[in-house]
Amino acid sequence: MSEKIDNLLHELEKMPGIGPKSAQRIAYWILNTDSANKLADTIKTVKSDVRFCKKCFNYATDDLCEICSNPSRNHKIICVVCEPRNIPPIERTCVFNGIYHVLGGEISPIDGVGPEDLNIAELMNRLVDVDEVVIATNPNVEGETTAAYLARMIKPLGIKITRPASGIPVGGDLEFADEVTLGRALEDRKEI
């Protein structure tokens, strides 16, 4: 194919989850549709206008993100997450009304990421007049390590530290739960 289309395929294949076949399908869609210029413009706008919130490091179009600048949120509860992409799923639950802090990664010695590479100092600076820190890092090795590190740092301040419960997914099946999850669910059993 022409060099310009090859360039497009090459750029499209860099997108996550897009292999050569999908890239080709999308390239032909781009060639055919009037929407493609709008897509390119939207990418440009986002790249130029979206930055990090100065307070919580979520994505924002102003100095503060929409959550940090919302006075109806409870600013005394901070939920710590690894990445901005962890925030929308929590927001969709409609259960959490506090604000967030994005670490920008998780502690992972194997990838050379230590506590000093994350927004932890910035988190510590925010812990004035705060009632609770919810550490919502992923329930895997790196996430648990990060949570343990944060807990050790925050504990001396006398602030309540919590972590979302692990257990069997709602609508899930006991039979198909892995033993670690099921074990955790039994340990954390609740009286009804």
Catalog residues that contact a copy of itself under the rule CB under 8 A. Answer: 1-5, 7-8, 11-12, 14-18, 22, 24-31, 33, 35-47, 49-50, 59-61, 65-66, 83-85, 88
CB of 60 to a copy of itself, least distance (A): 7
The contacts of residue 147 (CB under 8 Å, 6+ apart) are: 135, 137, 163
Tokens of 95: 């259960």
For residue 112, with 0-12 CB atoms within 10 Å meaning exposed, 13-18 middle and 19 or more buried, which class applies? exposed
Q: How far is the CB of 76 from a copy of itself (least distance, A)?
A: 24
Provide the minimum distance between the beta carbon of 139 and a copy of itself in the complex, in angstroms, as a whole number.
Answer: 20
Between 25 and 54, name the residue whose CB sits nearer to a copy of itself: 25
Nearest CB to a copy of itself, comparing residues 61 and 125: 61
Q: How far is the CB of 27 from a copy of itself (least distance, A)?
A: 8
Nearest-approach distance from CB 104 to a copy of itself, in angstroms = 10
Starting from the edge strand earliest in sequence, which strands make up the sheet with 132-135, in order?
99-102, 77-81, 132-135, 160-162
Tell me whether residue 31 or residue 186 sits nearer to a copy of itself (CB atom).
31
CB environment 31-50: b (16+ within 10 A), e (fewer): eeeeeeeeeeeeeeeeeeee
As a whole number of angstroms, the distance between CA 77 and CA 71 comes to 13
Comparison of 33 and 162: residue with beta carbon closer to a copy of itself: 33
Distance CA 108, CA 143 (A): 9
Instruction: State which residue, 25 or 160, has the beta carbon closest to a copy of itself.
Output: 25
